[in-house]
Structure 1
Amino acid sequence: MSKITIAIDGFSSTGKSTVAKQLAKYLGYVYVDTGAMYRAVTFYAMKQGLIEEGDFNVEALIYQLPGIEISFKFNEPLGFAEVYLNGKNVERDIRTLEVSGFVSKVAAVSHVRQKLVEQQQKMGKDKGVVMDGRDIGTVVFPNAELKLFMTASAEKRATRRYQELVNRGDKVIYEDVLQNVQERDYLDSNREDSPLVKAKDAIEIDNSNMTLDEQFDKILNLVKITLEGLE
């Protein structure tokens, strides 16, 4: 059976990673969480004191980019690949609200995007990959056989993100999470380099009122239709 590239773009906290993991596992494809890659660079910048509220030393981050190595290692008990930064597991560290507050600014740096896009294209050169992010269908894989664009209301997304953070023990305020979601939407959509836009040939999935099962079934059906069209 032919293998395809599945590009999933969309706003923050729309469940891109969740459905991408489900699809990759079901299809036996490689899953790549590009958002985690940008989060890892952001976490690095924070630990090095290169970014904080009101101050971002972009030049220093660009200078240090060659020394940043990001990799994924599959965790069998968890059932998905975790993110490693320079050999250290940072899967939990990069999922904080603090990292979320800076990641869009880091992702807007052209040198960062160039470095990570090159890595992402190498990961998907043999197809059989499910990749999610902000510019997968427009920049990383403009010729992907199936492109999806995930969306939902900001309030729905903030509620999901808030519950996720609370469930893992983080102390957060819903209003702060909502503000973060709205700010990331603006920054992601208005940056100069590779802004978040829906590819012309992408299929929009509004999951505001969908269960995870409904979402998966709908998208899996689109995958099957795409594969049948190649036979």
Structure 2
Amino acid sequence: MKKITIAIDGFSSTGKSTVAKQLAKALGYVYVDSGAMYRAVTYYAMQNDIISNDSFNVEKLISELNEVKICFKYNDRLGFAEVYLNGINVEKEVRTLEVSQWVSKVAEISEVRKMLVRQQQQMGQEKGVVMDGRDIGTVVFPDAELKLFMTASAETRAKRRYKELLERNEKVSYEDVLSNVESRDLIDSTREDSPLIKADDAIEIDNSNLNLEEQFEKLYNLAQNAINHQ
């Protein structure tokens, strides 16, 4: 059966990664979490005193991009690939609210985007890939056979993210999570380089009132239809 490329874009905390993992597993495709790549660069910047509450040394980050090595390694126990930064598993570290507070700022930098888009395109050369992010259907894979755009209200997304962080024993408030969601929406949608926009040929999925099972079934049917029409 001919394989396709599936590009899933959308706002933060819309469950893109969750459904992308499910789709990839069901189809036997490779899953790439592009957001984790930006989070890994952000975590590198935080660990190396490049970004903080007081400053952001953009020039220093750009000059050190060649030292930032990101890869994914499949974890059989978890059933998905985890992100590694310079050989170290940082899957848990990059999911914190602290990283979330800075990742959109890091993603604004053209040099960072160019480096990661290049890597993402290499990962999808053979097709049979499900990739989620902000500019997958518009920049990374503009010719993807199936493009999906995920959305939900900011309040719905904040509640999901808040619950997820609490389950990881993070000490956060709902108000802080909602503020972070709204702030990231603004930055992602208004940045000059590759802003978050829905591709003209993307199918919009508002999952505000869909549970995980309903969402997966809807997207899986769309994927099968796209594959059958190749």
Residue in structure 2 matched with residue 187 of structure 1 by the alignment: 187
Residue in structure 2 matched with residue 206 of structure 1 by the alignment: 206
Q: TM-score, normalised by structure 2?
A: 0.99
User: Displacement, 1:14?
Assistant: 0.1
The equivalences for 1:17-166 within 5 A come to 17-166=17-166
Amino acid at match of 1:43: Y
- Counterpart secondary structure, 1:132: strand
| d(CA) in 2 for partners of 1:225, 1:54 | 50
| d(CA) in 2 for partners of 1:142, 1:177 | 32
User: Displacement, 1:229?
Assistant: 1.2
| d(CA) in 2 for partners of 1:15, 1:72 | 19
Gap regions ≥5 residues in structure 2: none
Deviating runs (4+, > 2 A) in structure 1? none
Gap regions ≥5 residues in structure 1: none
Residue in structure 2 matched with residue 9 of structure 1 by the alignment: 9
| d(CA) in 2 for partners of 1:83, 1:221 | 28
Q: TM-score, normalised by structure 1?
A: 0.99
| d(CA) in 2 for partners of 1:143, 1:53 | 39
| d(CA) in 1 for partners of 2:44, 2:202 | 33
| d(CA) in 1 for partners of 2:53, 2:153 | 27
Residue in structure 2 matched with residue 223 of structure 1 by the alignment: 223
User: Displacement, 1:228?
Assistant: 1.6
| d(CA) in 2 for partners of 1:21, 1:128 | 13
Residue in structure 1 matched with residue 167 of structure 2 by the alignment: 167
User: Displacement, 1:54?
Assistant: 4.0
- Counterpart secondary structure, 1:55: coil
Query: What are the Cα deviations for residues 46-103 of structure 1, in whole angstroms up to 9, with x where unaligned?
Result: 0101011241100000000000000101110011111100000000000000000000
| d(CA) in 2 for partners of 1:224, 1:30 | 16
Q: Say how many residue pairs are matched.
A: 230
- Pairwise CA RMSD: 0.5
User: Displacement, 1:134?
Assistant: 0.2
| d(CA) in 2 for partners of 1:73, 1:40 | 14
